[in-house]
Amino acid sequence: MKRFENKVILVTGAGSGIGRASAVRLAAEGGKVWCTDINEKELKTLVDEIETAGGTAFAYRFDISEVGAAERCVEDCVGQFGGLDAVVNMAGILRFSNCHELGLDIWEQVIAVNLTGTFMLCKAVLPELLKSKGNIVNAASTASLQGLPWGVAYAASKGGVLSMTRSIAVEYAKRGVRANCVCPGDINTNMAQGVTFPADADFDLLSRITSLTGAKGPEVVAGVIAMLASDDGCHITGEHIRVDGGILA
Ligand SMILES: NC(=O)c1ccc[n+]([C@@H]2O[C@H](COP(=O)([O-])OP(=O)(O)OC[C@H]3O[C@@H](n4cnc5c(N)ncnc54)[C@H](O)[C@@H]3O)[C@@H](O)[C@H]2O)c1
């Protein structure tokens, strides 16, 4: 399939996990991929991999939580690739702690990256997407839909991403711009591997974040993202699709 020929897609969090797998998939389908992350080393490896496979990609350092950086990122992407058709917004962080022990600094960091960062990028890309009749795919989570033990800040941020995405979908639908979310769960990435639980964690609660089918790799989410971002998703907006192996079935 070459659903993204002559299309430009901006991917955040492209240095790892679902963002990386999405960049590879979108490039394999003919898209020009503007790969962004704070991890420049991983971005370079990714772009080398895409170019070696015959695709087109550009590595661009972008901290989604930095005020003003989103406008620069969009401007540079459009300057280099000539437009912008879709945004796949996967940058995110997860911090686990008992709620009563969670520092305000960690709460603010998680909200700044996952929620405010997603908002700032959506705001910056919308003028371009109005021109291209493009679309946004944001990273929500099963935590947007159910309580997440030890993850109050993360769940609050992801609930916000889902609400924000639906609001954008409604506000811009008649002007030809779509906005959707994926809600991954139990995807084996650096994020999942880096989790540390509180010392007194009640592991009975782990079933809430464990899939029925076993963890899967990030490419299973990338395939759904590619569908949503492509014309195959042309009648889908304001939707969230769980890719969670049945956690919330
Ligand atoms: N892995 C899962 O099971 C799962 C479940 C639900 C939701 N998600 C969401 O999917 C998205 C991708 O997660 P993943 O599992 O691939 O994680 P990951 O840790 O493998 O990748 C996240 C990427 O985001 C980047 N990043 C972090 N802070 C950033 C910032 N300030 N600016 C720009 N980039 C930044 C990291 O460098 C990293 O490359 C995240 O938003 C995550 O919350 C993942």
Whether the full predicted model's pTM is greater than 0.85, yes or no, is yes
Structural domains for the chain: 8-241 (3.40.50.720)
162 has pLDDT over 90: yes
pLDDT tens for each residue of 11-39 = 999 999 999 999 999 999 999 999 999 99
Annotated catalytic residue: which of 115, 154, 241, 244?
Answer: 154
The question of whether 154 is a catalytic residue gets the answer yes
> CA-CA distance, 210 to 137, in Å (whole number)?
24
> CA-CA distance, 73 to 193, in Å (whole number)?
29
pLDDT tens for each residue of 51-82 = 999 999 999 999 999 999 999 999 999 999 99
- 3-class DSSP state of 153: helix
Ligand 1, pocket-test mutation among 11, 60, 161, 189, most atoms within 8 A of CB: 189
Would the CB of 118 count as within 6 Å of ligand 1? no
Residue nearest to atom 3 of ligand 1 (CA): 187
Query: At residue 98, what are phi and psi to the nearest 5 degrees?
Result: -60, 140
